[in-house]
Amino acid sequence: MNSYALIPFLPLAAFVINILFGRKYLKENAHWVSILAVAGSWVLAVMALVDVLGGNTINFDLYTWMLSGGFKVSVGFLIDQLTVVMLIVVTTCSTLIHIYSVGYMHGDSGYYRFFAYLSLFTFSMLMLVMANNFLQLYFGWEGVGLCSYFLIGYYFNKKSASDAGKKAFIVNRFGDFGFGLGIFVVFLTFGTVYYEPVFSQAGGLAEATFNFLGYDVHLMTLIALLLFCGSVGKSAQIPLHVWLPDAMEGPTPVSALIHAATMVTAGVFLVARCSPIFSLSETALMVVALTGAITSLFAATIGLVQNDLKRIIAYSTVSQLGYMFLACGVGAYTAGIFHLYTHAFFKALLFLCAGSVMHAMGGELDIQKMGNLKKYMPVTYMTMLIASFSISGIPGLAGFFSKDEILWMAYAGESPVGKFVWAIGTLVAFLTAFYSFRLIFLTFHGKFRGTHDQEHHLHESPKSMTIPLMLLCVGAVAAGWVGIPALIGEKIGVHNYIAEFMKPVLGHPEGHGTHAEEMVVMLISIAVGLAGIGLAYFMYILRPELPARLAQQLSAVYRVLFNKYYVDELYSFIIVRPAIWIAKNVLIGITDARIIEAVVNGVPSAIAAFSSGLRKIQTGLMQHYATIMATGILIIVAIMLLR
């Protein structure tokens, strides 16, 4: 057995140990098991990275999972360039967040349970990214969804938390419905669900059509779009984005790990993994690009007016995920994965800083009730500030390089919607900078607006929390340096390492623009970022009375944004309530009760009526019986003779 198989199974072992022995024996030592396991996975992941950098691709089966007729699938692992980047992102973030949780969850009654779930999550996520076939991908996919359900609903005594967990799971099932059908079509087409034969044969079927539900459709478009349904759910894109903001009910380390850095990016990973299929369908790519672009704008506008610290970051995540899809949709898969990787650092950092703030504020989330925290929490302030600069695309920081790469690829690529999504992306870059710094200014600057009691308790978080912040901060600054565009790289003598590294799996489309154009695009994206920060400074530091006045003057717009375009209300109105109404009033009330039961109960009463009628001919008179008998015999004889 290959030792890389241990990468997912170490955390699985930690889960089993914690769930079986945590409650009674391990208790407040539960974190040791989980941390050691995930750190072990990290070491192995680094070894895998070295291996892949050395030019190896690892692909092996562990055992046959399912075998039925012509259908065979294994538990098996594929470690190539794409996998290894995901491995590094997942194990690094997971390890740091495990450590952070020791401080954050200290004293919680479900301490062992929390670490058990984190381990189970890490296992599932690793199974997802390491799969060498679609079904194991689906296994990890549902597994991370389950852990998300557990962890969102971690404080299960709260109705809102258990609602949010359930919602996340069910909304994701809508996406998985399409994903599952996609796997069926893959199997029916290729006779296998392993990546390798599927991707190598896809090219030969570029023009094939498939009869789907009676319609002849372009095969690759069909497969790509069905798989993309799964991505839309998992990565919270329109129209299935509704679960992610509610997912903030979970403990903050969970928001950082699952709902920012890793799980929600699985959708992007799926598209990148299936790039050989997506690349064969212009329609599918266009759908991906537009879904991403529209979602990123949509979520960013909502983020402008929210007051809940974590929800602002959640909408920011939805928006940035949209960015990644935008990149994939214009064929720049590497740029999408590059952004996934830098985003993991600065977004996890933003969440952990938010957790640090909550820790100090006694669980308070309303940024309108904060202010001036920089005085009390210097480390949290500095790291969060740097993360915000990073997401706003300030040159030199991680977010700048990946964001710039996406915008340039959109602008210069071959996609028919490229220019359009570039324009949206640029607008979103402005909005992102604005809401990120609105958050910074309201939280850390100005006057403290909370209660006297809260102010009294303000303090910097313990070392186990601030050290992961600082480590992630290094990533938020430097993670992008592996992807410095040639435009700059040529001058300082570095390559775009990540693009070269990923080229064998994801390809690397060349932009058609000139250096001058590239420079202009870059300068525009820097300018809008600075403008966003400047506007936030103006509105929340220089003229703090302005936002309220604006909200009043534009109250209709403000209400729509504040209520997230009323999408939740819409779904409740068109899906949830009708389903329950039909169940109660039609299926139970009419079909079961009035129709089926009426027949069922009607038959016996009909028989009863018939037999009481029959009883009347039992008169007890001999001559009656004789007459009937004679008639019967006559009829039988008649039949016999006439045949």
Footprint on this chain of other proteins (rule: CB under 8 A): 19, 23, 63-71, 135, 138-139, 142-143, 146, 149, 153, 156-159, 161-163, 166, 169-170, 173-174, 176-177, 180-181, 184, 187-191, 201, 204-205, 208, 210, 212-214, 579-580, 582-584, 587-588, 591-592, 595-597, 600, 603-604
**Cα separation values, 106 from 15, 30, 349, Å:** 19, 11, 20
**Comparing C-alpha atoms, which of 45, 35, 134 is closest to residue 89?**
45
The residue with tokens 């154009």 is 517
Q: Tell me whether residue 77 or residue 444 sits nearer to other proteins (CB atom).
A: 77
Name the DSSP class of 29.
G
| Contact partners, residue 235, CB within 8 Å, separation at least 6 | 264, 265, 266, 267, 268, 321, 324, 325
DSSP states of 446-489: S---S-HHHHHH--PPPHHHHHHHHHHHHHHHHGGGGG--HHHH
How far is it, in rounded angstroms, from Cα 586 to Cα 583? Answer: 6
Residue 238 CB, nearest approach to other proteins (Å): 19
In the block, tokens 């939280």 appear at 443
- Between 208 and 470, whose beta carbon lies closer to other proteins? 208
Could you give the C-alpha distances from 43 to 50, 88, 262, 622, in angstroms and in order? 11, 10, 18, 100
Question: Which of 184, 566 has the CB closer to other proteins?
Answer: 184
Q: Which is nearer to other proteins, 378 or 602 (CB)?
A: 602
Q: Which is nearer to other proteins, 233 or 450 (CB)?
A: 233
Q: What is the smallest separation between the CB atom of 184 and other proteins, expressed in angstroms?
A: 5
CA distances from 433 to 38, 297, 310, 350, 587 (A): 34, 13, 16, 14, 52
- Residue 313: CB minimum distance to other proteins, A: 25
Q: Which is nearer to other proteins, 120 or 499 (CB)?
A: 120
Nearest alpha carbon to residue 410 among 401, 400, 402, 420: 420
**Whose Cβ is closer to other proteins: residue 208's or residue 546's?**
208
Decide whether 145 or 509 has the Cβ nearer to other proteins. 145
Q: How far is the CB of 584 from other proteins (least distance, A)?
A: 4
> Element (H or E) spanning 68, and its range?
strand 58-68
The distance of closest approach from Cβ of residue 298 to other proteins in the complex, given in angstroms and rounded to an integer, is: 24
3-class SS shares of the chain: helix, strand, coil, % to 5: 80, 5, 15
**Closest C-alpha to 256, from 471, 455, 564:** 471
Buried b (16+ CB within 10 A) or exposed e, 370-397: bbbbbebbebbbbbbbbbbbbbbbbeeb
Instruction: Dig out the tokens for 93 from the structure.
Output: 């973030």
Question: In the complex, what is the shortest distance from the CB of residue 497 to other proteins, in angstroms, rounded to a whole number?
Answer: 36
Kindly state the smallest distance separating residue 579's Cβ from other proteins, in Å.
6
Task: Indicate the burial class of 318 (C-beta count within 10 angstroms; 0-12, 13-18, 19 or more).
Answer: buried
Least distance (Å) between residue 190 CB and other proteins: 6
> Minimal distance in Å, beta carbon 49 to other proteins?
28
Verify cis geometry, omega within 30 degrees of 0, for the bond prior to 11. Answer: no
Please state the closest distance from residue 156 (CB atom) to other proteins, in A.
4
Backbone angles phi, psi at 292, to 5 degrees: -60, -45
* Shortest CB 492 distance to other proteins, Å: 47
- Residue nearer to other proteins on the CB measure, 158 or 515: 158
Of 600 and 639, the one with the shorter C-beta distance to other proteins is 600
Which structure tokens are listed for 635? 């009829």
Angle, helices 81-104 vs 266-273, to 10°: value is: 170
Give the residue with the Cβ less far from other proteins, 170 or 557. 170
- State both tokens at 241: 């984005």
Q: State how far the Cα of 284 lies from the Cα of 628, in Å rounded to an integer.
A: 79
Burial state string for 206-232 with b = 16 or more CB within 10 A and e = fewer than 16: eeeebeeeeeeebbbbbbbbbbbbbbb
Q: How far is the CB of 187 from other proteins (least distance, A)?
A: 7
Instruction: Please say which residue, 187 or 537, places its beta carbon nearer to other proteins.
Output: 187
With respect to other proteins, which residue has the nearer C-beta, 66 or 636? 66
Length of the chain: 643
AA identity, residue 542 = L
Residue 169 CB, shortest distance to other proteins, in Å, is 6
